[in-house]
Amino acid sequence: MILTHRTAALGLALVLPLGLAACGSSDDNADTGSSMSDSTTPSPSTSPSESMSDSMSGAPFGAACGQVPTTGAGSFDGMMTAPVATAASANPLLSTLVTAVKEAGLVDTLNGAPELTVFAPTNDAFAAVPKATLDAAMADPKGLLTKVLTNHVVAGKIAPDKIAGEHKTLGGGTITVSGSGEDFTVGQAKVVCGNVQTANATVYIIDGVLLPAS
C-alpha cells in the first residue's frame, strides 16, 4: 500500500514495530488504564489538568482541540487516566485509527509500553486515503498496516519544546518535525491538536498519514 502524506492515520497512528510487539499481545479490547503522577513534593489534591501542566509544560494546543469532548473518558482529563490505545478509543477524532490498531493487534502493545510519543492521524486523514490503498493495508494487518502504524510512534514522551527535529520511529523509519511554539508539521502533516496526555504517552493529533520511506 502506498499512502500519501495527507492520508488518514492508519490505526492509532500509533503503531509499534516487531521489536515493541514483545511488550504485549494483540487484543480487540482497549481496557487497561493507569494514572500518571509526577509530583515530587506533597501537595493538597492536584487535579489531572494541573499534573499535566506541571509535567509537560503546557496544555493541549491546536485548532482541532475544540473538537475533543469536554467531559468523560474522551476529554483531556479523561484520557490522562488511560493508556494510549484505550484513551484514543474514547476520542471521536481517532475512531478510524483505533479500528486499524485493533486490526493490527497492537492494542496491548501500545497500552503496555512505558512511555511513547504518538502522532495520531484523524478520521479525516484516513478518509483522504484512496479506498484501494486503505483496503490493501487493512488486508495485510501484520505487515503493511503494522509498518505504517508504527511509523507514527516514537519511544519516550516528548514535550512540545523538544519535539522539533528528527525522530526514529518504532517502525524503523525516521520522521521530521518542524516548527515551534504551537505550530508544528510532521513531514507534510500538520499538528492539529498537540500535547495531549494519556497515562503512558504524549499524543500529537495530525491531519495526514505518515508514510514509511520504503
pLDDT, tens only, 12-60: 333 333 334 334 433 444 443 333 334 333 333 334 433 333 344 589 9
What pLDDT digit, counting tens, does each position of 128-149 carry? 987 888 888 899 999 999 999 9
In this structure, the dihedral spanned by the alpha carbons of residues 44, 49, 55 and 59, taken in order and rounded to 10 degrees, is: -150
What does the pLDDT read at residue 134? 85
> For the purposes of burial, counting CB atoms within 10 Å of the CB of 33, is it exposed (0-12), middle (13-18) or buried (19 or more)?
middle
Q: How far apart are CA 171 and CA 94, in angstroms?
A: 20
Per-domain residue ranges of the chain: 18-22+52-206
Taking CA atoms, 67 is separated from 57, 180, 195, in Å, by 22, 23, 15
| CATH of the domain spanning 18-22+52-206, picked from 3.30.70.1070, 3.20.20.150, 2.30.180.10, 3.10.20.30 | 2.30.180.10
Q: How far apart are CA 131 and CA 135, in angstroms?
A: 6
Grid coordinates representing 35 are: 494514572
Question: What DSSP character marks residue 61?
Answer: B
Strand partners, 117: 154, 202
Quick one: what percent of the chain has pLDDT higher than 70? 72
Model pTM score: 0.74
- pLDDT category of residue 211 using cuts at 50, 70 and 90: confident
What does the pLDDT read at residue 213? 66
What does the pLDDT read at residue 32? 39
Phi and psi torsions of 54, nearest 5°: -65, -45
Quick one: what percent of the chain has pLDDT higher than 90? 66
In this structure, the dihedral spanned by the alpha carbons of residues 112, 214, 129 and 90, taken in order and rounded to 10 degrees, is: 10
